[in-house]
Structure 1
């Protein structure tokens, strides 16, 4: 429970004024419950080109070095920051061996795996599978034409993840709660082992991780990074707006996706509230509360480039100054 004294609650309300109110009833409100809006009230801002009121805990300076990790939305952050001349340690177009999709991590547990490997400086080749598509490590991302190329890519990824020690800030994008687990290897996977699943049903299981598990994982990750690499590391948490592609829960995917995003948004709030060096950046709200036809491509799964640019400009204005 987060407890706020009455004095502090009133101060919070007054400090941001109309940003704290959705709408209000007045003589123009109709009998069916329609309410009015004015100024900065939410009803006049959402489902347009929406940007929340943001009060950062900290700023990073214009020359801050950034390391991002997480779902595909993290790649959008990297592209945008790199194009603006910012220092991005996690991936940039200069990387020759690894494409950007190589670093997509769809759950916090697979992000933890990357940094554990970086700390150990080694790679377990038992995670490699030969499939009809090519060579795959389901704890990572990507398909390779040979085992040797996959191993080389994973070792290169390990070296890149060691750069977290040079970062001023770690931007973690939370993606999904629906995961796959390799029982034999005793490890979470990054994505569904589709190509080998049918012949190895006893080796894998689908795990729908809950709020408590994801809070513990996020806390563990942040502590691990500070203990092993960078004791002064600041963290900015975001939640990817990109929905599930498929769900194995038996629910309508819209319901499954709502549960996933609601859980991770609550996780981000919890972590942010308990750590002065962790902040939450509302990229999720910027996308989902904007005009959907302007925020999304026609699949309502991928965010339009213009919206990504607006998000990153907002990020830079608030943090990199």
Structure 2
């Protein structure tokens, strides 16, 4: 069945009107594809300055939420005060990573229902050492005694329940190799360890999700959000460009990853059809179609570098945001990229133009101050820090840098 039906008149009319984006780039005009691809987001709604954002999904969404926070949005999913434990190997932010559609659905289901809907005994699994692991979160990266594991889970549930106060959900889908617990009938977020499989033979199995199941999960997530959030909530959905680290399937990881990303991308295209205020944004295409040397972290071919994340989010938010200065975001991303690569003089030249504009964002002023500081232009840096702190007086970290630069100790 067709996911979209367009009249011939409308199809040709739209093609003529936006031909630049509807034709594949050529060798003569490669700039939209090489070295860094720039797919055009198709924005059907606007994001207000006072939006409360909750980001859900794989590790890539942690990069997205930091980029959004830097632009001044209230990001409810950033939590840094979960209970500490010497046994925990994963930082607070990493505990929020949700990799598969059914594990995202589990968490949203628990958050949207009464606290007694969640049960520790269905989630915490005792390992061979008598400690308890939560495979809806970090699995064997965090094993603790039962009471501390319960306390951590209760705190996490309270933090994740912040999604109920959001009016913009950013959802990032990661992979489709999903592990299933036959005893509890729950999909897991992480693969059970070999020791756990040995302790509970026959309890767990790997399920490779298909298109229909992914769409079904997305529809159920949407239904829960519709039930509990403000009627005018908005949703941005994407597919993480971060590939599989390894595959459990009996085939090459390159083939497994291609299936994973392809079926997720196809399912999202079906899911967004006919839904007001629900859009796809092309972070996967940004990375997958770009020159690998331009987008991946220097250490591997799996993690997207921060400059590329900034480019993606500046491109997206320049189309969606009502922030004063939203039209400057792509230039700002270029400045941050130059700064990260050590081209401070070039970054200074571009930043100077931005900070003199009336609709400049505080984060742009801060970046200009950082550039001046790098270039050892102390007096100019101090003036920019003062201007930024006038707009953002609660930024204690920047205040300390400013006072140190000025040679003033805080009493």
TM-score by length of 2: 0.70
**Larger Cα-atom Rg:** 2
Q: Please name the residue that 1:124 is paired with.
A: 119
Alignment of 1:38-49 (within 5 A): 38=29, 43-49=30-36
Alignment of 1:65-214 (within 5 A): 65-92=52-79, 94-97=80-83, 99-118=92-111, 119-122=113-116, 123-126=118-121, 127-131=123-127, 135-141=132-138, 142-194=141-193, 195-214=195-214
Cα 1:7–1:74 shift into 2, 3 Å: same
**Retained in 2: the 8 A contact 1:47–1:292?**
no
Alignment of 1:284-299 (within 5 A): 284-297=284-297, 298-299=299-300
d(CA) in 2 for partners of 1:307, 1:36: 23
Alignment of 1:282-321 (within 5 A): 282-297=282-297, 298-321=299-322
1:170 deviation in Å?
A: 0.6
1:263 deviation in Å?
A: 0.4
Q: Specify which of 39, 49, 52 is matched with residue 52 of structure 1.
A: 39
**RMSD over aligned Cα atoms:** 1.9
d(CA) in 2 for partners of 1:181, 1:277: 32
Q: Please name the residue that 2:378 is paired with.
A: none
1:314 deviation in Å?
A: 2.0
DSSP-derived class of the 1:152 partner: helix
Cα 1:99–1:132 shift into 2, 3 Å: farther
Once the two structures are superposed, residues 174-203 of structure 1 have per-residue CA deviations (whole angstroms, 9 ceiling, x without a partner) of 111110000000100001001402332311
Alignment of 1:12-31 (within 5 A): 12-23=14-25
d(CA) in 2 for partners of 1:314, 1:304: 16
Cα 1:83–1:113 shift into 2, 3 Å: same
Unaligned regions of 5+ residues in structure 2, if any? 84-90, 323-411
Q: Please name the residue that 1:27 is paired with.
A: none
DSSP-derived class of the 1:267 partner: helix
Higher relative contact order (CA 8 A, sep 6+): 1
DSSP-derived class of the 1:312 partner: helix
Cα 1:182–1:260 shift into 2, 3 Å: same
TM-score by length of 1: 0.89
**Retained in 1: the 8 A contact 2:133–2:144?**
no
1:18 deviation in Å?
A: 2.1
1:36 deviation in Å?
A: 4.7
**Retained in 2: the 8 A contact 1:65–1:169?**
yes
**Retained in 2: the 8 A contact 1:64–1:168?**
yes
**Retained in 1: the 8 A contact 2:52–2:75?**
yes
**Retained in 2: the 8 A contact 1:271–1:278?**
no
Cα 1:145–1:199 shift into 2, 3 Å: closer
1:5 deviation in Å?
A: 1.1
DSSP-derived class of the 1:223 partner: helix
Q: Please name the residue that 2:6 is paired with.
A: 4
d(CA) in 2 for partners of 1:47, 1:198: 49
**Retained in 1: the 8 A contact 2:82–2:152?**
no
d(CA) in 1 for partners of 2:312, 2:78: 19
Once the two structures are superposed, residues 108-129 of structure 1 have per-residue CA deviations (whole angstroms, 9 ceiling, x without a partner) of 1111111221213133222212
d(CA) in 1 for partners of 2:274, 2:185: 30
Larger helix fraction of residues: 2
